[in-house]
């Protein structure tokens, strides 16, 4: 069965510093991978997704993620964080029973990002 592991429950970085959030997945075939962000009281917003092709994926808000098949990882990065980036970040893998790649999404438990002024 597919699973997603986010090893860091909380991460604290200073404003302006670089950020890397870790994500490891377990999936038998080529995974469909996502990063979502959830601000307090808000729903989930898609930051970026990987389906195929270039393993370095650019997303919104200056985020990027790199798919590394050999390490079963899909880490999220940002070169310089802003105070508004404080939120909960979820890595997820899409499980498709058909050709539709978004049939069912399996989420990790999330990483809470704190920003120091």
Partner 1 sequence: DAGVTQSPTHLIKTRGQQVTLRCSPKSGHDTVSWYQQALGQGPQFIFQYYEEEERQRGNFPDRFSGHQFPNYSSELNVNALLLGDSALYLCASILLGTSGQETQYFGPGTRLLVL
Binding positions for partner 1, rule: CB under 8 A: 4, 32, 34, 36, 41-46, 49, 51, 90, 92, 97, 99-110
CB of 18 to partner 1, least distance (A): 25
CB of 19 to partner 1, least distance (A): 19
Secondary-structure breakdown of the chain: helix, strand, coil percentages, each rounded to the nearest 5:
10, 50, 40
CB of 10 to partner 1, least distance (A): 11
Contacts of 70 (CB under 8 A, 6+ apart): none
Name the residue nearer to partner 1 (CB basis): 51 or 73.
Answer: 51
54-59 contacts, C-beta under 8 A, 24 or more apart: 59/35
């Amino acid at each position: 069965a597919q699973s997603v592991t986010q090893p860091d429950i909380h991460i604290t970085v200073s404003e302006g510093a670089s950020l890397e959030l870790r994500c490891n997945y377990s999936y038998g075939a080529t995974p469909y991978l996502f990063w979502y962000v959830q601000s307090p009281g808000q729903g989930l917003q898609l930051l970026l997704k990987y389906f195929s092709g270039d393993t370095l994926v650019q997303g919104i808000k200056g985020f990027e993620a790199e798919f590394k098949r050999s390490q079963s990882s899909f880490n999220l990065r940002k070169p310089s964080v802003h105070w508004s980036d404080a939120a909960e970040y979820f890595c997820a893998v899409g499980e498709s029973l058909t050709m539709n790649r978004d049939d069912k999404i399996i989420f990790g438990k999330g990483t809470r990002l704190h920003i120091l002024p």
